[in-house]
């Protein structure tokens, strides 16, 4: 039975959940794909753990200081890297260094944090193409919501004309709370934080940057564009008042923070901002922490997906969906390519 060695860089809540789920699914990987999957290394920013024979669940709380960084992951012998560290799209770090090293060495990579992909996506794609590595990013592109899958698989062969997405759960929850409970933005935010639905610093969410990051990934990795943040118009929800919510409500309209892609004369344009929808529109029914995507194509018309999952499990599951795609791809690779990447 072939052995596949996996490493995880970034060991916060998502990284730990991914490691746990990976180890719980080892028997599935044996039965379905005929491979023995071993988690050979994990690390955070200051500590890590490695075992060439594979780590077990009972060891994951025993990280050792200084075992961290791209060289540590490289020395583990892992063939697949799951990058789950903090996300900073302005610098790409800390995941960018891990991904550059792994892709250059021909390691297949599954990316959960968006920062490196937004900051240096074209370069990372080139590194993957040059080394023959697979680069997957479902966890970064709206997690449990099947966004890239629809573009790459379900609509294969079609020309995508437009994409609309409710891509951020926090802002959708806030707008819903304002509309259904009559709260202003500050009160809705306090409620969300009190209920554990929003982080202490929600600026990336509420200012529209998280949606913008996911939109860039859909454009660049799903539609073959080459956009940067400078190409986007980005508006958040800070300016939305209770009075505006009431006015929309009186007109039978529901506001959503939307990431939009449109194809105009062969060029893809992107923007993030508030759009309103009548109650008859499916997007008006995407409540609470749910997310949604609507894709219009030339031959298949309109496709809509709506999804939500408990975090961090949903994001971990999205990353391991990518892992199963990699297992399928590795099974059909020529033998010399598998040996080169190992």
List strands edge to edge, sheet with 291-297: 232-234, 267-278, 253-264, 160-166, 291-297, 301-307
Left if phi > 0, otherwise alpha if psi is -120 to 50, otherwise beta: which for 157? Answer: left
Alpha carbon distance 137, 116 (integer Å): 11
Per-residue pLDDT, 265: 87
List strands edge to edge, sheet with 64-65: 64-65, 47-50, 35-43, 2-9, 80-83, 108-111, 135-136
pLDDT 10s digits, 159-175 = 999 999 999 999 999 99
Per-residue pLDDT, 331: 85
Q: Is a pLDDT exceeding 60 seen at residue 38? A: yes
Instruction: Quote the crossing angle between the two packed helices 169-181 and 242-250, to the nearest 10°.
Output: 70
Q: Which residue has the tokens 């399928």?
A: 328
Does 140 lie in the same domain as 202? no
Does 163 lie in the same domain as 254? yes
Per-residue pLDDT, 339: 41
Does 132 lie in the same domain as 102? yes
130: containing domain: 2-144+313-341
Per-residue pLDDT, 338: 42
Does 279 lie in the same domain as 258? yes
Does 95 lie in the same domain as 172? no
* Residue 129, CA distances (Å) to 51, 107, 122, 133, 281 in order: 30, 12, 11, 7, 41
Does 93 lie in the same domain as 43? yes
Q: Is a pLDDT exceeding 90 seen at residue 93? A: no
- The CATH number of residue 223's host domain is 3.30.360.10
Alpha carbon distance 292, 304 (integer Å): 7
Q: Which residue has the tokens 């063939």?
A: 79
Per-residue pLDDT, 57: 96
Q: Is a pLDDT exceeding 80 seen at residue 266? A: yes
Alpha carbon distance 111, 140 (integer Å): 6
Does 184 lie in the same domain as 85? no
Pick from 54-63, 112-121, 195-204, 330-339: least confident? 330-339
Does 33 lie in the same domain as 12? yes
Per-residue pLDDT, 194: 87
Does 299 lie in the same domain as 195? yes
Mean pLDDT of the chain, nearest integer: 94
Per-residue pLDDT, 334: 61
φ/ψ of residue 261, rounded to 5: -120, 130
Residue 341 confidence class, pLDDT cut points 50, 70, 90:
very low
φ/ψ of residue 92, rounded to 5: 85, -15
pLDDT 10s digits, 106-122 = 999 999 999 999 999 99
Mean pLDDT of the region 328-338: 68
Does 204 lie in the same domain as 159? yes
pLDDT 10s digits, 269-312 = 999 999 999 999 999 999 999 999 999 999 999 999 998 889 99
As beta bridge partners, residue 163 has: 261, 295
* Residue 278, CA distances (Å) to 21, 239, 281, 329 in order: 40, 21, 6, 43
Does 184 lie in the same domain as 276? yes
Contact 117, 217 (CB under 8 A): yes
Per-residue pLDDT, 309: 87
Per-residue pLDDT, 89: 93
Does 336 lie in the same domain as 268? no
- The CATH number of residue 136's host domain is 3.40.50.720
Number of structural domains found in the chain:
2
Q: Is a pLDDT exceeding 50 seen at residue 228? A: yes
Beta-sheet strands, E only, within the chain:
2-9, 35-43, 47-50, 64-65, 80-83, 108-111, 135-136, 160-166, 232-234, 253-264, 267-278, 291-297, 301-307
């Amino acid at each position: 039975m072939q052995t596949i060695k996996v490493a995880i860089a970034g060991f916060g809540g998502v990284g730990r959940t991914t490691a746990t789920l990976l180890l719980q699914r080892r028997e599935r990987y044996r039965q379905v794909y005929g491979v023995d999957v071993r988690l050979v290394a994990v690390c955070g920013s200051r500590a890590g753990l490695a075992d060439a024979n594979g780590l077990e669940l009972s060891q994951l709380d025993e990280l050792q200081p200084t075992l961290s960084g791209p060289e540590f992951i490289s020395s583990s012998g892992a063939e697949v890297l799951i990058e789950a560290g903090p996300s900073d799209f302005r610098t790409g770090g800390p995941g960018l260094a891990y991904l550059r090293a792994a892709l250059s060495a021909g390691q297949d990579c599954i990316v959960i944090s968006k920062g490196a992909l937004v900051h240096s996506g074209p370069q990372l794609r080139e590194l993957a193409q040059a080394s023959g590595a697979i680069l997957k990013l479902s966890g970064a592109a709206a997690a449990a919501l099947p966004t890239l899958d629809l573009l790459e698989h379900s609509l294969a062969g079609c020309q995508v004309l437009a994409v609309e997405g409710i891509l951020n759960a926090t802002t959708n929850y806030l707008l819903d709370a304002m509309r259904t409970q009559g709260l202003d933005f500050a009160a809705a935010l306090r409620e969300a934080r009190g209920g554990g639905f929003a982080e202490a610093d929600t600026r990336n969410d509420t200012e529209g940057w998280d949606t913008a990051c996911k939109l860039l990934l859909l454009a660049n990795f799903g539609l073959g564009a080459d956009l940067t943040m400078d190409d986007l118009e980005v508006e958040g929800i800070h300016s939305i008042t209770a009075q505006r919510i009431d006015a929309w409500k009186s007109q039978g309209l529901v506001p959503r923070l939307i990431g939009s892609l449109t194809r105009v004369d062969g060029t893809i344009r992107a923007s993030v901002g508030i759009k309103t929808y009548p109650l008859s529109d499916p997007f008006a029914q995407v409540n609470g922490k749910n997310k949604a995507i609507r894709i219009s194509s030339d031959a298949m018309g309109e496709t809509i997906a709506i999804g939500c999952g408990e975090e961090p499990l949903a994001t971990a599951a999205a990353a391991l969906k990518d892992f199963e795609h990699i297992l399928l791809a590795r099974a059909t690779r020529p033998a010399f390519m598998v040996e080169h990447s190992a």
